[in-house]
Amino acid sequence: MENAELGGDQASVGEGTTLSVEQLMEKVNALQKTNERLIDEHRKAKQSNAGYREMIEQVERKKLETDGNLSSQLEYERKKNSELAQAYSEIKQKTLKTNIINTFLKVAPDVNDIDDLLNQPKFSHLLKDAIDEESLSINEEMAQIYKNEVLNAKPWLKKQSPKVGAVTTKPSFIGGNQTDDYRSLEKDELEKFIKAKFK
């Protein structure tokens, strides 16, 4: 694995190989172009596959129509309807899940992990009550109630506020005459001496 340490205008890559910032930027640009090309090829292949799938379906339909077998045609249409219903259901579930996560990101920024918050079987009835199946969304007020209930029962899911630590630095000594005799000073003078010598 390459270890890149940036220093100045050069980077050390691997053993004994140094590259300038310009060379590294060229490599990054080349990788970005390769990535864009691969994504474009994948998109074209996906479109091409969809076109082939449509052609196969049309051939199957024509074959069934020419055979005149109504039960085969009916079975084919049921199969297509089932596939469409399943695809619709998957899209609906993904949309609902995305909307739920987005809502909880808004109402629960103080939670360590949204997935942990949502994965609470004991409180799932509150979550189900908050979901609107028609609009594929979740009621924000009920989401807030759900979050509060879960965090009351499981406070460790909430992000911890940073705790104030003890001061570990030593006071710095301000230079001056180090031979001052503090033993002979009065109380007020001793306070001034301490304030003057230590920050």
And the tokens for 128? 């189900």
CA–CA separation, 187 vs 195, rounded Å?
12
**Pick from 153, 102, 94: nearest CA to 123:** 153
Assessment of whether the complete model's pTM goes beyond 0.85: no
And the tokens for 46? 């996906």
And the tokens for 190? 């001793």
CA–CA separation, 45 vs 66, rounded Å?
32
Cβ pair 99, 136 in contact under 8 A: yes
- Give per-residue pLDDT as tens, 29-66: 888 888 888 888 888 888 887 778 788 887 877 777 77
- 3-state secondary structure (DSSP) of residue 1: coil
Label residue 3 by pLDDT band (50, 70, 90).
Answer: very low
Q: Specify the pLDDT at position 177.
A: 52
User: What percent of the chain shows pLDDT beyond 70?
Assistant: 81
And the tokens for 84? 């469409």
